[in-house]
Amino acid sequence: MRFSVPLVLLLFFCATASLAQSVRYVSDKQYVPLRSGAGNEYRIVHQGIPSGTRLTVARTSDDGTWSEITTDGGTSGWIRSQYLMSEVPAQLKLARITENAEKMSAKSADLSGELELLTTDRAALVEKLMIADTEFEAVSQELIQLKQISGKAVQLDADNRRLVEQMENLRSESEMLKAERYRLQEKLESEDFLNGALAVLLGVIIALVAPRLVPKRRKSSSWA
What is the residue-level pLDDT of the chain in tens, covering all 224 positions?
A: 444 544 444 444 444 444 445 777 666 656 788 899 999 999 999 888 887 788 899 999 999 999 999 988 888 999 998 888 887 766 666 667 788 888 888 888 888 888 888 988 899 999 898 899 888 888 988 888 888 887 787 888 888 888 888 888 988 888 888 888 888 888 888 888 888 888 888 888 887 877 777 666 555 555 44
Is 63 part of a structural domain of the chain?
A: yes
Is 41 part of a structural domain of the chain?
A: yes
Is 202 part of a structural domain of the chain?
A: no
- Tell whether the torsion through CA atoms of 70, 71, 74 and 78 is positive or negative: negative
Is 59 part of a structural domain of the chain?
A: yes
Distance CA 45, CA 128 (A): 72
Is 21 part of a structural domain of the chain?
A: yes
Phi and psi at residue 3, to the nearest 5°: -115, 145
Is 165 part of a structural domain of the chain?
A: no
Q: Which residue range(s) make up the domain with 66?
A: 5-88
Is 48 in contact with 32 (CB distance < 8 Å)? yes
List, edge to edge, every strand of the sheet that includes 22-26. 44-50, 31-35, 76-80, 66-71, 54-60, 22-26, 84-85
Which residue, among 93, 92, 88, 54, has the nearest Cα to 74 in the 3D structure? 54
Which residue, among 64, 62, 99, 69, has the nearest Cα to 82 in the 3D structure? 64
Is 176 part of a structural domain of the chain?
A: no
pTM: 0.35
Is 57 part of a structural domain of the chain?
A: yes
The number of domains in the chain is 1
Which residue, among 90, 72, 95, has the nearest Cα to 28 in the 3D structure? 90
The CATH number for 35's domain is 2.30.30.40
Those residues whose C-beta lies under 8 Å from the C-beta of residue 99, and which sit 6 or more positions away, are none
Which residue, among 45, 78, 43, 76, has the nearest Cα to 61 in the 3D structure? 78
Measured CA to CA in angstroms, residue 59 lies from 20, 24, 33, 154, 218 at distances of 7, 12, 18, 101, 199
